[in-house]
C-alpha cells in the first residue's frame, strides 16, 4: 500500500496541478493542511516542473501523509487536473492552483453547505491576492452578494460569470457521473464549469470568501497576467466559443447573459489588443470571437454601449483595421 493509504475514503480530495511555482507552492500547501476539514487528501500533480517545485512538494509529503505527489511529463494543466481527479478518493472534490491560498475556513464552509442541502456543488467568493493585501474580484460583485442554497444557474443567471474551478467543492459522485474532464490547453475552466452548473441538480452559493487568487509578482507570470500575447488571446477566444457551444447545447436560455458578459469583457479586451499587434497577427486569434458574435441572435447586443456594439459589428465584418483605428483613438 502507498504512503497515506487508508481503506476509509477521506472527506475531501484537493487536486493541485503544479508547474514551476517554487516561490508559491509551500504557501499553498500550508494553507491546505490548515483547513478546518478533519480528513483531507492533497494530490499534487507535478506537470514536468523544471525548478525546485517537485522537491519542495516531496518534502511536504514526507512530513505529512495527507500530501501525495504524482508526476507526469509536461502535458498541460488540463491533463494534470484530470490525472489528479482520477486518483482522488474523497467524498468531495476540489481543485486548487499551486500559487494560490485557501483561507482556513474555505473548504469547511463549502462542504458544510453541501452536507446541509444535498446540492451537487458549492461555490464561494474570491479575493485577488498580492503583496499589499487582498481586493475583490471585479467580476463577482453580484454573484456572491448573498448566500443562496439549492439554487441553479437557470434561476441565478449571474452564475454564468462563475467559470473558475478553484472556488468550488463538488460531490465526487456528481463529478464522476457526469464524466467531467478538462480538455482545453489553456483557459480550460469555463466550458467544464458552465456544464457543471447546468447539469447540477442544485448549487449552493456561499457569500463568504473561500479562495485567494494570487497576482504573481515573481517567477513565471500566470496566463491571466499575459493577456496581451497573441497566443493567449487566441486561447481565450477559443474558450469563449467552446463555452458558448456548451450553453447553446444545454441551456440556450443562458445565451443572453453569457453574451453580454463576454462582449463587455473578454471579447472587448481582445479587440482592444489590436493596438499592440498587426491585423495579420490577430486575425486568426480573433476568428473564434468572430464566430461567436456572428452566431448571436439578432438584437441581443442592443444593450451594449454604442462603442461596443460598433466594435462587434466591425468584428463580424472582419474589419480589423477599422477596429484598430477606433481603439487607438484616445477615449
Report d(CA 295, CA 255) in Å as an integer. Answer: 11
Provide the 3-class DSSP secondary structure of residue 171.
Answer: strand
**Distance, CA of 320 to CA of 21 (rounded, Å):** 37
Which residue matches cell numbers 474555505?
106
Predicted local confidence at residue 220, as pLDDT: 54
Confidence at residue 331, expressed as pLDDT on a 0 to 100 scale: 52
Partners of residue 100 on adjacent β-strands: none
For residue 86, how many C-alpha atoms fall within 13 Å in the half-sphere facing its CB?
A: 10
In sequence order, what E strands does 237-280 have?
none
Residue 277, φ and ψ in degrees, nearest 5: -140, 165
Output the pLDDT for position 227: 47
Contact 174, 88 (CB under 8 A): no
> Which of 128, 315, 165, 142 has the alpha carbon at shortest distance from 239?
165
> 130 by DSSP, 3-state: which?
strand
Q: Where are the alpha helices (DSSP H) in 65-152?
A: 77-87, 106-117
Nearest C-alpha neighbor of 271 from the set 329, 331, 324, 232 = 324
What is this structure's pTM? 0.92
For residues 294 and 15, give the distance between their C-alpha atoms in angstroms, rounded to a whole number: 37
C-alpha angle with apex 262: 138 to 209, nearest 5 degrees? 30
Torsion angle of the four alpha carbons 104, 107, 108, 110, in this order, in degrees rounded to the nearest 10: 140
Structure confidence by residue, pLDDT tens digits, 250-276: 999 999 999 999 999 999 999 988 877
Q: Look at residue 226 in the predicted model and tell me its pLDDT.
A: 46
In the predicted model, residues of the chain with pLDDT beneath 50 are: 1-2, 4, 221-223, 225-227
Coil/strand/helix, residue 237: helix
**Contact yes or no for 191/78 (Cβ under 8 A):** no
- Within 10 A of 20 (CB to CB), how many other CB atoms are there? 21
- How is residue 20 annotated by DSSP? S
Quick one: how far is CA 276 from the chain centroid? Answer: 26
Coil, helix or strand for 270?
helix
Q: What is the pLDDT of residue 187?
A: 92
- pLDDT attached to residue 6: 56
Amino acid at each position: 500500500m502507498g504512503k497515506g493509504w487508508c481503506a476509509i475514503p477521506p472527506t475531501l480530495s484537493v487536486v493541485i496541478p503544479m508547474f514551476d511555482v517554487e516561490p508559491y507552492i509551500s504557501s499553498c500547501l500550508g494553507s491546505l493542511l490548515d483547513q478546518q476539514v478533519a480528513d483531507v487528501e492533497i494530490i499534487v500533480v507535478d506537470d514536468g516542473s523544471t525548478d525546485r517545485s517537485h522537491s519542495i512538494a516531496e518534502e511536504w509529503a514526507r512530513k505529512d501523509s495527507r500530501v501525495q505527489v504524482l508526476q507526469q511529463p509536461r502535458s498541460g494543466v488540463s491533463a494534470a487536473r484530470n490525472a489528479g481527479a482520477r486518483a482522488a478518493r474523497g467524498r468531495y472534490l476540489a481543485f486548487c492552483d499551486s500559487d494560490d491560498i485557501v483561507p482556513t475556513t474555505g473548504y469547511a464552509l463549502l462542504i458544510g453547505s453541501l452536507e446541509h442541502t444535498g446540492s451537487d456543488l458549492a461555490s464561494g467568493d474570491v479575493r485577488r491576492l498580492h503583496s499589499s493585501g487582498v481586493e475583490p474580484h471585479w467580476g463577482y460583485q453580484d454573484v456572491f452578494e448573498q448566500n443562496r442554497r439549492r439554487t441553479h444557474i437557470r434561476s441565478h443567471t449571474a452564475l454564468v460569470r462563475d467559470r473558475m474551478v478553484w472556488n468550488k467543492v463538488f460531490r465526487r459522485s456528481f463529478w464522476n457521473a457526469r464524466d467531467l474532464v478538462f480538455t482545453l490547453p489553456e483557459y480550460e475552466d469555463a466550458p467544464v464549469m458552465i456544464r457543471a452548473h447546468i447539469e447540477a441538480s442544485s448549487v449552493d452559493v456561499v457569500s463568504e470568501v473561500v479562495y485567494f487568487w494570487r497576482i504573481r509578482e515573481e517567477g513565471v507570470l500566470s496566463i491571466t497576467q499575459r493577456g496581451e500575447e497573441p497566443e493567449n488571446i487566441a486561447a481565450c477566444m477559443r474558450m469563449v466559443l467552446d463555452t458558448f457551444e456548451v450553453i447553446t447545447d444545454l441551456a440556450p436560455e443562458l445565451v443572453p447573459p453569457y453574451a453580454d458578459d463576454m462582449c463587455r469583457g473578454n471579447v472587448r479586451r481582445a479587440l482592444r489588443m489590436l493596438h499592440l499587434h498587426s491585423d495579420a497577427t490577430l486575425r486568426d486569434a480573433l476568428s473564434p470571437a468572430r464566430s461567436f458574435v456572428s452566431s448571436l441572435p439578432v438584437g441581443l447586443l442592443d444593450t451594449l454601449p454604442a462603442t461596443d456594439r460598433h466594435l462587434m459589428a466591425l468584428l463580424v465584418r472582419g474589419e480589423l483595421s477599422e477596429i484598430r483605428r477606433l481603439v487607438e483613438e484616445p477615449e
